[in-house]
Amino acid sequence: MSVFSKLMGSHGTKKPYSSSVKSGLTPLQSATPVAPVKTNGLAWSAPPEHALDNTSESILRAFASLPMDQVLDHLQVEREGLSGDEAEARLRVKGPNTLRSQKPPSWFILLLKVIPNPFNLLLIFLAIINASIPPPDWTGFTVLMVMVTISVLVRFWQEYRSGLAVFRLQMSIKTAVRVRRREGETHMPTSELVPGDIVLLAPGDVVPADCLLLETSFLRISQSQWTGESAPVSKLAVAGGDKADGSLFDLANICFMGTGVVSGNATVVILRTGSDALIAAMSKALRKSRDLNAFQRGIQNVTWMLIGFMGVMVPIVLVVSAKTTGNWGQAALFSISVAVGLVPEMLPAIVNANLARGAYLLSKKKAIVRRLDSVQNLGAMTVLCSDKTGTLTKDEITMREALDWAGNVDVEVLKLAVIEATIQGTGGNNMDAAICNFRLESGQEVQTTKYEKSVVIPFDFERRRSACVVRGVAGGAMLICKGAFEEVYSRCSKIQTDKGESAMAGHHRTTLKQQVKTLNSQGYRVLLVATKQLAKAQIDDEDGFDDIETNMTINGLLTFVDPPKPDAAESIEKLKTLGIDVKVLTGDNMAVALNVCRALGIVQREDSIDNDGPGAMTGAELANLVDEEDFDEAVKSCKVFAKVSPVQKESIVASLKKHGHAVGMLGDGMNDCLALRKADVGISVDSAAGAAKDCADFILTEKGLAIIVESVTIGRVTHANSIKYIKMVLSSNFGNVFSILAASAWLPFTPMTNLQILAQNLLYDISQIAIPWDNVDAEFLETPKSWQPWGKYNPPRPPTSR
Name the residues annotated as catalytic.
387
Beta pairing, strands 210-222 & 233-234 = antiparallel
Residue 405 phi, psi dihedral angles, 5° rounding: -65, -25
Residue 230 phi, psi dihedral angles, 5° rounding: -75, -30
Strand ranges, E, within 465-507:
465-471, 477-484, 492-497, 500-503
Helix (H, G, I), strand (E, B) or coil at 700: strand
Looking at residue 301, what DSSP letter applies?
H
* Burial of residue 290 (number of CB atoms within 10 Å: 0-12, 13-18, 19+): middle
Beta partners for 500? 497
Residue 568's Cβ-side half-sphere holds a number of Cα atoms within 13 Å equal to 25
Nearest to 219 by CA among 240, 198, 205, 230: 205
Nearest to 68 by CA among 254, 330, 229: 254
- What is the rounded CA–CA span in Å between residue 355 and residue 565? 31
Strand ranges, E, within 288-356:
none
- What is the rounded CA–CA span in Å between residue 16 and residue 382? 54
For the chain, what is the total number of helices (H) and then of strands (E)? 28, 23
| H/E element, 93 | helix 84-94
- What is the rounded CA–CA span in Å between residue 386 and residue 668? 10
Helix (H, G, I), strand (E, B) or coil at 298: helix
- What is the rounded CA–CA span in Å between residue 158 and residue 276? 34
DSSP states along 102-123:
-PPPPHHHHHHHHS--HHHHHH
